Amino acid sequence: MKETVMMMIGAALVNNVILARFLGLCSFMGVTTRIDTAAGMGLATTFVITVSSMADWAVQRYLLEAYGLGFLRTVTFILVIASAVQFTEMVIRKVSPSLFQMLGIYLPLITTNCAVLGVALLLAENHMSFIAATLFAFASAAGYSLVMVIFAGLRERLALASVPRLFAGPPIAFIVAGLLAMAFMGFSGISTV
Amino acid sequence: MLIAIASLATLGLALGGLLGTAAYYLPVEEDPVEAGLLALLPGSQCGQCGFVGCAQAAAALAHGEAQPTLCPPGGRAVAAAIAARLGIQVDLSAVTDDRSRLARVAEEICTGCCRCSKACSTDAIIGAAKQIHNVIREACTGCGACVDRCPTEAMTLVPVPVSLQHWIWPKPAPA
Amino acid sequence: MGLFERIFKEPRWGVHPDDRKRPAADVPLRRLPPPERIYMPLHQHVGAAPRPVVQVGQKVRKGQLLAEAQGNISAPIHSPVSGTVAGIGEITAPHASGLGFAAISVDSDFQDRWIDTDPLADPFLLSPEEITKRTAAAGVVGLGGATFPSAVKFSLGRRLAVGTLIVNGGECEPYLSSDDRIMRDYAEQVVDGARIVMHAIGAREALVGIEDNKPEAIAAMKIAAMAHPEVKIRPVPARYPMGSDKQLIQALTGKEVPADARAAEVGVLVHNVSTCAAVHKAIRLGQPLVERIVTINGGAVARPGNVFAPLGTLVDELLAFCGLKVTPSRLILGGPMMGTPLVHGRVPLVKGASGILAFDAREAAVPKTGPCIRCGACASACPMGLLPLEMASRVRAGDLDGAVDFDLSDCIACGCCAYVCPAHLPLVQYFSHAKGELAARERSRLRTESAKRLAQARLVRLEREAKEKAEAAARRKAERNAAKARAAAEQGEPA
């Protein structure tokens, strides 16, 4: 139990997908201008990462490893992820048009989000059990959402601050992202406990 | 080699089949965005945006072929509403609320041909044939559709002077 | 004030600027002789502008109707002098923009002959409706600065069954002392006016709130109210903006007016002391509102004090009457916190003008602004409990909706935030700009909507016309065919 909790904290905070592994940076910079869109993107990505990691775990275990097709891993994973995103989009569009409206443009973007593929590949390398893999994927995705929302909050404040002309816009956002990454380095003290 | 091809093909087919089935069982009605956008536009079909009418402009907006700032009579309020509806950010500083111009008939050269009143999309021009026409200020949107129709150039757009009620404090200069 | 009161009774909001009311407040009231020509603006109140009823060249007497009210919320204006109507034209408005507005100019004959008035011995025999009617006819509006037609407020108070009348003698703005002066010199008029207003709105008691920095006014009012136990004089702590109705209501009754409600909805109605005196004159003496007490003050004025002046007098003439030490660096109509900067002195005195301030260079100096350090001084000073720093940063970034989310619409533009800001940020100026911008946006939205309605009505009309045309054509064709058939039949028969 303790190992599982530590593994999840490690995945969410210590080895944060965005700030420690530097995956999914395009969405990190792209959709964090407002908190609500960042939170929507975080939720959608969490769902996709969890579902596609489960599917990829099965593909890895029963197809790739069983037939020695490790070299096809990236291609198959992308196929699975793209299908999962498409399927999610269809379901959301049918079930909740308002959520679809909110996520609209961001849903297809998840397909090309390297965080999704990155988590799946990490799982494939670590040979975890199904339960552990699902929890790991969920925790990583939760860490992703957390950082998205925090950064969006910072950028909302930045938009109101009087920033020197040279730094206004993306430059100051990158500097803040760097500071945030350094702050998250503080979590690395937890893992050794 | 064969196994690789076969497995990828099977996987592809299976996922494709799944998506196809899902699309069949989860059909979605037509895009409500366009109708929502049409409701936001003034509906005066003035054509200042470059499209024939508001419905065409709404379609172009929905397909991302036009900017939310396209509607001059709508001004900032409409631009902001469209941007919010489409979930995109727009620089509103370039949009001016150009409600400062109204059509006016020069009585001495109006021939009473009625062409302007037919062109007006808000019925803001009154006057019968061979009678001097006049503009109802409250109904005029300042779109200028009538100006081109007038054969005697009696129709002009004139600026409306700023009144006490419409004056706005200037924004303080940044420190 | 004891320590207990200082800790528990002192309001937590607002600021306490140096009031600078004296020595002007202690100078006896002076009366301005009728000027050669006055310019009586048509629009001196909230609501619709009145319609002129006099002609150029017409002889008028003091108090004669110049323009009659039109619309539900409006007020008439009357001639402040006797003489001849010289013209109806434009004059610079007492407004920061320096734009013009319509005014009727009257050349004085220096006789100051009043119209025939009918003094009334006992106004309490009149019905409240009759008092309201007479107040409306006298052109009485809120003289504290809001200039809302008083009669409309009476009807509102009657409809909402208001129990308490609050008489606003706060006068919290620095420099101003016109209300102070009217309470010292005309306390009986104020008390009598308050009793008439109580009768008109059906209130049971009147609470007169007077800031405790005006001990002479409190003493005079207490003497005047001695015979009338229903009029209670209540000193309140001197604190800006105590003269704002929501703050005064809270200080006197403990009731808080909700954000989207009017004062009458919590059972109180606020009228200024000068308004009460004007109601007294209108009902008891039958004199319409044509003159008022105005404070002339500021570092550039040689003999500051309060002047009883006819409305429509030019600011320049008032300043000349009191003398100028130096050329004023800035002219303000009203108080220094919320008043209107004037572009020049050729601006007429209006009903809502409680003071004219001529500042010298030292008073008019504007400190250099710095960046916001988020100290929160503005948030603790704000009497409405808003967060000026958050609103201002959003307005500066152009995010008006964000500012509205921080309740920009509740801002009363008192200027406390800008007063306390250590960075001297023009906070209240940001809010004034944003409110104007929001109002413009609302107007634009309404216009778009009405254009849409008109366009749809036109489509309906075109459709109907096309249909009628088609029907008419079909009818004609049928008639033609019938005629043809008849003709054929007639031709065929003899053959």
> Residue C1: what pLDDT?
46
Q: Please indicate, yes or no, if residue A151 is contained in any of the structural domains.
A: yes
Phi and psi torsions of C204, nearest 5°: -90, -30
HSE, CB side, 13 Å, CA atoms: give it for residue C67.
25
Residues of chain A contacting residue B2, judged by C-beta atoms under 8 Å apart? none
> Residue C338: what pLDDT?
92
Flag whether residue A94 sits within 8 Å of chain B, measured between CB atoms: yes
What domain count does chain A have? 1
Q: Do B3 and A102 touch (CB under 8 A)?
A: no
Rounded to 5°, the CA angle C398-C400-C404 comes to 155
- Let me know whether B120 and B144 are in one domain: yes
Phi and psi torsions of C306, nearest 5°: -105, 140
Query: Do residues C300 and C359 lie in contact, with contact meaning Cβ atoms separated by under 8 Å?
Result: yes
pLDDT in tens, A2-20: 888 888 888 899 889 999 8
Q: Do C396 and A160 touch (CB under 8 A)?
A: yes
Q: Please indicate, yes or no, if residue A61 is contained in any of the structural domains.
A: yes
Asked if pLDDT for residue B82 goes beyond 90, the answer is no
- Let me know whether B87 and B53 are in one domain: yes
**Residue that is last in its domain, among B94, B121, B140:** B94
Asked if pLDDT for residue B9 goes beyond 60, the answer is yes
> Residue B98: what pLDDT?
58
Asked if pLDDT for residue B166 goes beyond 80, the answer is yes
Please give the mean pLDDT across all residues of chain B: 81
Residues of chain B contacting residue A76, judged by C-beta atoms under 8 Å apart? 8, 11
Query: Do residues C99 and C93 lie in contact, with contact meaning Cβ atoms separated by under 8 Å?
Result: yes
- The two structure tokens encoding residue C147: 């200039």
**Residue that is last in its domain, among B70, B94, B118:** B94
pLDDT in tens, B14-30: 989 988 888 888 776 65
Q: Please indicate, yes or no, if residue B106 is contained in any of the structural domains.
A: yes
**Domain carrying residue B139:** 101-160
Could you tell me which residues of chain C have a Cβ less than 8 Å from any Cβ in chain B?
Answer: 43, 93, 95-97, 99, 101, 369-371, 395-396, 398, 401, 423, 425-426, 429-430, 432-433, 436-437, 439-445, 447-448, 450-452, 454-458, 461
Q: Please indicate, yes or no, if residue B135 is contained in any of the structural domains.
A: yes
Exposure b/e, C130-154, CB count within 10 A at least 16 = b: ebbebbbbbbbbbbbbbbbbbbbbb
DSSP B164: G
Kindly state the average pLDDT of the residues B106-120.
86
Q: Please indicate, yes or no, if residue A30 is contained in any of the structural domains.
A: yes
> Residue C371: what pLDDT?
87
Flag whether residue C399 sits within 8 Å of chain A, measured between CB atoms: yes
Rounded-to-integer distance, Cα C151 and Cα C141, Å: 8
Out of A53-57, B106-110, C201-205, pick the least confident: B106-110
Phi and psi torsions of C63, nearest 5°: 90, 0
Confidence at A105, pLDDT banded by 50, 70, 90: low
Rounded-to-integer distance, Cα C339 and Cα C37, Å: 25
Rounded-to-integer distance, Cα B118 and Cα C46, Å: 40
Rounded-to-integer distance, Cα C432 and Cα C444, Å: 18
Q: Please indicate, yes or no, if residue A179 is contained in any of the structural domains.
A: yes
- Let me know whether B66 and B41 are in one domain: yes
- Let me know whether B36 and B90 are in one domain: yes
Q: Do B7 and A63 touch (CB under 8 A)?
A: yes
Q: Please indicate, yes or no, if residue A143 is contained in any of the structural domains.
A: yes
Long-range contacts, A50-54 (Cβ 8 Å, 24+): A50/A134, A50/A137, A50/A138, A50/A141, A51/A84, A51/A88, A52/A77, A52/A80, A52/A81, A52/A84, A52/A85, A52/A116, A52/A120, A53/A119, A53/A120, A53/A123, A53/A133, A53/A134, A53/A136, A53/A137, A54/A130, A54/A133, A54/A134, A54/A137
Would strands B155-159 and C77-78 be described as parallel, antiparallel, or unpaired?
unpaired
Kindly state the average pLDDT of the residues B99-115.
83
> Residue C3: what pLDDT?
57
Q: Please indicate, yes or no, if residue B151 is contained in any of the structural domains.
A: yes
Rounded-to-integer distance, Cα C340 and Cα C329, Å: 14
Rounded-to-integer distance, Cα A136 and Cα C461, Å: 66
Q: Please indicate, yes or no, if residue B114 is contained in any of the structural domains.
A: yes
Residues above pLDDT 70, as percent of chain C: 97
Q: Please indicate, yes or no, if residue A193 is contained in any of the structural domains.
A: no
Kindly state the average pLDDT of the residues A70-83.
89
Q: Please indicate, yes or no, if residue B4 is contained in any of the structural domains.
A: no
Rounded-to-integer distance, Cα C383 and Cα C353, Å: 23
- The number of residues in chain B equals 175
Kindly state the average pLDDT of the residues A28-57.
87
- Let me know whether B121 and B79 are in one domain: no
C176: nearest Cα among C98, C247, C274: C274
ipTM: 0.78
Q: Do A160 and C399 touch (CB under 8 A)?
A: yes
Query: Do residues B157 and B144 lie in contact, with contact meaning Cβ atoms separated by under 8 Å?
Result: yes
**Residue that is last in its domain, among B42, B62, B94:** B94
Distance from CA of C394 to the nearest CA of A (A): 6
**Domain carrying residue A153:** 2-188
- The two structure tokens encoding residue C284: 């008891």
Instruction: Please state the separation of Cα A159 from the chain's center in Å.
Output: 25
Confidence at B31, pLDDT banded by 50, 70, 90: low
Confidence at B175, pLDDT banded by 50, 70, 90: low
What domain count does chain B have? 2
Residues of chain A contacting residue B19, judged by C-beta atoms under 8 Å apart? 83, 86-87, 90
- The two structure tokens encoding residue B167: 């004056």
- The two structure tokens encoding residue A1: 């139990």
> Residue C279: what pLDDT?
95
Residues above pLDDT 90, as percent of chain B: 2
Rounded to 5°, the CA angle C123-C128-C129 comes to 120
Q: Please indicate, yes or no, if residue B146 is contained in any of the structural domains.
A: yes
- The count of other CB atoms within 10 Å of the CB of residue A179 is 11
pTM: 0.82
Could you tell me the CA-to-CA distances from C309 to A53, C183, C296, C348 in Å, in that order? 84, 17, 11, 11
DSSP B23: H
C387: nearest Cα among C358, C417, C426, C363: C417
- Let me know whether B68 and B47 are in one domain: yes
Out of A71-85, A162-176, B60-74, pick the least confident: B60-74
Confidence at A124, pLDDT banded by 50, 70, 90: confident
Rounded-to-integer distance, Cα A29 and Cα A152, Å: 9
Domain holding B67: CATH number?
1.10.15
Rounded-to-integer distance, Cα C94 and Cα C103, Å: 12
> Residue A148: what pLDDT?
94
Flag whether residue A66 sits within 8 Å of chain C, measured between CB atoms: no
> Residue B72: what pLDDT?
77
Residues of chain A contacting residue C371, judged by C-beta atoms under 8 Å apart? 162
> Residue A192: what pLDDT?
47
**Ranges in chain C, pLDDT < 70:** 1-10, 493-495
> Residue B93: what pLDDT?
66
Out of A145-154, A172-181, B2-11, C215-224, pick the least confident: B2-11
C92: nearest Cα among C335, C278, C346, C441: C346
Rounded-to-integer distance, Cα C302 and Cα C319, Å: 9
Confidence at A191, pLDDT banded by 50, 70, 90: low
Confidence at A104, pLDDT banded by 50, 70, 90: low
Q: Please indicate, yes or no, if residue B46 is contained in any of the structural domains.
A: yes
Kindly state the average pLDDT of the residues A189-193.
61
Confidence at A128, pLDDT banded by 50, 70, 90: confident
Say which amino acid occupies C261: A
Rounded-to-integer distance, Cα B115 and Cα A81, Å: 61
Q: Please indicate, yes or no, if residue B172 is contained in any of the structural domains.
A: no
Rounded-to-integer distance, Cα C10 and Cα C242, Å: 11
Which regions of C385-459 does DSSP assign to beta strands (E)?
none
> Residue C258: what pLDDT?
87
Domain holding B120: CATH number?
3.30.70.20
